Amino acid sequence: EIVLTQSPGTLSLSPGERATLSCRASQSVRDHLGWYQQKPGQAPRLVIYDASNRANGIPARFSGSGSGTDFTLTITSLEPEDFAIYYCQQRSTWPVTFGQGTRLDI
């Protein structure tokens, strides 16, 4: 099973700042990595798929990069609605696995 390790655990920033979230895989997942946003009491929402592709309706301030074992989710100029927990997920190998999450706090 591929283990995904996210860092930092919590990131405290202010609206307008830039957020950089990391996800490291225990073995290569090629570009088969995605990111989800989850707000309190809500279901996760797909943000990025296959490392760098924005999902439907996701603003351009969200971008993803990386391949192999190291991936980054970048949010330029944070909006108040961006503060949430972000999870990475790999689809390279059975079983699908998720990272433990990064909480993005104001």
Partner 1 sequence: EVQLVESGGGLVQPGGSLRLTCVVSGFTFSDHAMNWVRQAPGKGLEWVSSISSSSNYIYYAASVKGRFTISRDNAKNSLYLQMSGLRVEDTAVYYCARYGSSWADPNFFDYWGQGTLVTVSS
Contact positions vs partner 1 (CB under 8 A): 32, 34, 36, 42-46, 49-50, 55-56, 87, 89-101
Shortest Å, Cβ 98 to partner 1: 4
Shortest Å, Cβ 95 to partner 1: 6
- Our CB check for partner 1 shows the closer of 14 and 44 to be 44
Q: Kindly report the number of other CB atoms within 10 A of residue 73's CB atom.
A: 27
- Our CB check for partner 1 shows the closer of 26 and 77 to be 26
Reference 13, options 62, 71, 76; nearest CA is: 76
> What is the SS3 assignment for the chain?
CCCEEEECCEEECCCCCCEEEEEEECCCCCCCEEEEEECCCCCCEEEEECCCEECCCCCCCEEEEEECCEEEEEECCCCHHHCCEEEEEECCCCCCEECCCEEEEC
Shortest Å, Cβ 79 to partner 1: 22
- Our CB check for partner 1 shows the closer of 67 and 100 to be 100
- Our CB check for partner 1 shows the closer of 37 and 75 to be 37
Shortest Å, Cβ 51 to partner 1: 11
